[in-house]
Amino acid sequence: MPPETPAPSVDRITIRKPDDWHLHVRDGAMLKASLPFTARNFGRAIIMPNLLPPVTTVKEAIAYRERIYDALHQALPEGSTFQPMMTCYLHDMTDPDEVEAGFRDGVFTAVKLYPANATTNSAAGVTDYRKIRPVMARMEKIGIPLLMHGEEVDPEVDVFDREAVWIERRLQPWTKDFPGLKFVLEHISSKIAVDYIRSAAPQVGATITPYHLTHNRTDWLGWGNRPYLYCMPVIKTEADRRALVEAATSGDKCFFLGTDSAPHPVERKLAVVGSAGLFNAPVAIEQYTKVFEQAGALNKLEGFTSLNGPLHYGLPANAESITLERSTWTAPEEIKIDGPDGRALVYRGGEQIEWRVADSVG
Ligand code: NCD
Ligand code: ZN
């Protein structure tokens, strides 16, 4: 085989406008404060439904979408082309007709499965997997994807093995039982997941976060406990991180961008029992760019950020583009939240960020 041409070192790169296939923008004051960071650089985002109470009906999703558009217009009065894509929070009693109505009306883009108590605001999630089979059968029939927080919460299963056990116990059998159903395993965190996704593509795709690409568990726990690296699924070993970087930068179409940006008020992040989730939207596209640059794979960035996700969902890629340039700037340490929540700290806040969005067209 001829040697691969090394990717040239570049200082500027223009890519189709990215989409975020996994985003938490919350509600109220937190929504207003966090959404603009995503709307600035992304064309669309899959909006996670884990509010309190969760978004389980078409009516609730329409109302939430309105609140998102209101926040958008307040923050960017000059106009924005950003589009939220709404999801339906799956639970034991979800009515297949509700999912179908929401999909047909263009309200639901996907259905999201949280195992009960797996992560932030998942208490109302699924407890009995037999009960959701009729919904899954209907989803297969109408063609709406199932997004999963894929972690087995059986107390017998070690927290570092939750993802692997989920794949073995749940996802693998489901792909056989529902061969026409499209799945997304969200925020994959392990080499086992990378290998599995490759074997199950194109039926199954996966999102990868900037922090699972950047950190290992020694960064999180090895030199003091860093609560700001605590998220679900928990950050794993260096071998896992390397497998994720290899997957994201490989060009394989089954892997795509999902930041899992998830702001929390600082008090809750730093509480005795702290909340899982990192707020990375202010630096997300820049951090992905850094990861791809370090892997010598800037030529694969656009596929991961802007093409593979739409392909998996059967949607067109964005027509607009953004340009990133190598130029340092300092990330804000925190964002202010109106009201009692006060503030939320930013992932890589206060650090020098290596890439900057120079231009966002459209
Ligand atoms: C997310 C959140 O805070 O809503 N937290 C996280 O640790 N990733 C929920 C989720 O996606 O699991
Ligand atoms: Zn999740």
Ligand 1 atom closest to 149 (CA): 12
Q: Is the pLDDT of residue 3 over 80?
A: no
Give Dmax over CA atoms of the chain in angstroms. Answer: 61
Dist CA 263 CA 266 (whole Å):
9
Domains of the chain: 18-319 (3.20.20.140)
pTM: 0.97
Dist CA 328 CA 130 (whole Å):
51
Ligand 2 centroid to 351 CA: how many Å?
A: 26
Dist CA 72 CA 70 (whole Å):
5
Angstrom CA distances, 198 to 177, 243, 251, 257, stand at 19, 12, 12, 16
List of residues 6+ apart from 312 with CB closer than 8 A: 145, 182, 184, 202, 205, 253, 254, 256
- Token pair 């694969």: residue: 300
Q: Is the pLDDT of residue 271 over 80?
A: yes
Q: Is the pLDDT of residue 64 over 80?
A: yes
Q: How many helices (H) and strands (E) does the chain have?
A: 14, 13
CA distance from start to end of the chain: 42
Average pLDDT, the chain: 96
Average of per-residue pLDDT across 14-40: 98
Reported as type and span, the H/E element at residue 37 is helix 28-41
DSSP helix/strand/coil, 312? helix
- Which residue's CA is the closest to the ligand 1 atom numbered 9? 120
Smallest CA-to-CA distance from 206 within 148, 159, 160, 152 is with 148
User: What does the pLDDT read at residue 78?
Assistant: 84
Q: CB under 6 Å to ligand 1: residues?
A: 24, 50, 119-121, 149, 231-232, 260, 262, 276-277
Q: Which of 22, 24, 211 to mutate to test the pocket of ligand 1 (most atoms within 8 A of CB)?
A: 24
Q: Is the pLDDT of residue 2 over 80?
A: no
Query: Phi, psi at residue 262, to the nearest 5°?
Result: -145, 85
| Nearest listed ligand to the Cα of residue 122 | 1
Dist CA 346 CA 323 (whole Å):
23
User: What does the pLDDT read at residue 4?
Assistant: 59
Model confidence pLDDT, tens digit, residues 97-139: 999 999 999 999 999 999 999 999 999 999 999 999 999 999 9
